[in-house]
């Protein structure tokens, strides 16, 4: 999955996925972890059930954990995350994500990364979406460090990578 390749997961990263859905990205992140871990959060109990089932081996090994909750209600613990990402989370792509971005900033480790990979339905909207996301992140106190566009067999995709200032 292109989105996970853009994240630059390090073996010992502590990772948070916002809106983990079926847990596909969690599986791919876990393949890159050695000593690190990932927490997948999703508002849907059905999605968390499927993600937990898909990643049962990673959960048993302590690499993955899941939580049914909206980001603002999640128990993210006291340890900061090295990497936070969200693939196609509507509030971050189209909404007014002030509250969510404040939560991400509060839980990022010094030097931690925040990534927003996406694949729009309309490929022509990739670059405008990247510009809008970058502006939103900068306004929320993040430093945008990379803007990526990729041509995939299924269309164009984009990703904005940032760090908290």
pLDDT in tens, 55-91: 999 999 999 999 999 999 999 999 999 999 999 888 8
Q: What is the pLDDT of residue 165?
A: 81
Token output for 44? 């849907």
- Model's pTM, two decimal places? 0.94
- Is residue 133 within 8 A of residue 164, CB to CB? The reply is no
pLDDT in tens, 99-109: 999 999 999 99
Burial state string for 65-86 with b = 16 or more CB within 10 A and e = fewer than 16: bbebeebeebebeeebbbbbbb
Q: What is the pLDDT of residue 154?
A: 76
Name the class of domain 2-164: alpha beta
SS (H, E, C) 65-106: EEEECCHHHCCCCCCCEEEEECCCCHHHHCCCCHHHHHHHHH
Q: What is the pLDDT of residue 93?
A: 77
């Amino acid at each position: 999955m292109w989105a996970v390749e853009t994240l630059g997961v390090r073996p010992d990263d502590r990772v948070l996925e916002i809106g983990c859905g079926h847990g596909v990205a969690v599986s791919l992140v876990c393949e890159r972890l050695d000593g690190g871990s990932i927490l997948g959060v999703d508002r849907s109990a059905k999605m968390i059930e499927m993600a937990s089932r898909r990643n049962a081996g990673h959960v048993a090994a302590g690499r993955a954990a899941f939580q049914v909750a909206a980001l603002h209600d999640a128990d993210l613990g006291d340890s900061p995350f090295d990497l936070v990402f969200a693939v196609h989370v509507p509030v971050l792509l189209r909404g007014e994500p002030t509250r969510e971005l404040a939560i991400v900033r509060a839980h990022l480790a010094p030097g931690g990364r925040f990534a927003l990979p996406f694949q729009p339905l309309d490929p022509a909207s990739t670059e405008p979406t990247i510009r809008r996301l970058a502006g939103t992140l900068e306004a929320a106190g993040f430093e945008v460090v990379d803007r990526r566009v990729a041509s995939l067999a299924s269309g164009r995709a984009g990703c904005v990578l940032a760090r908290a200032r």
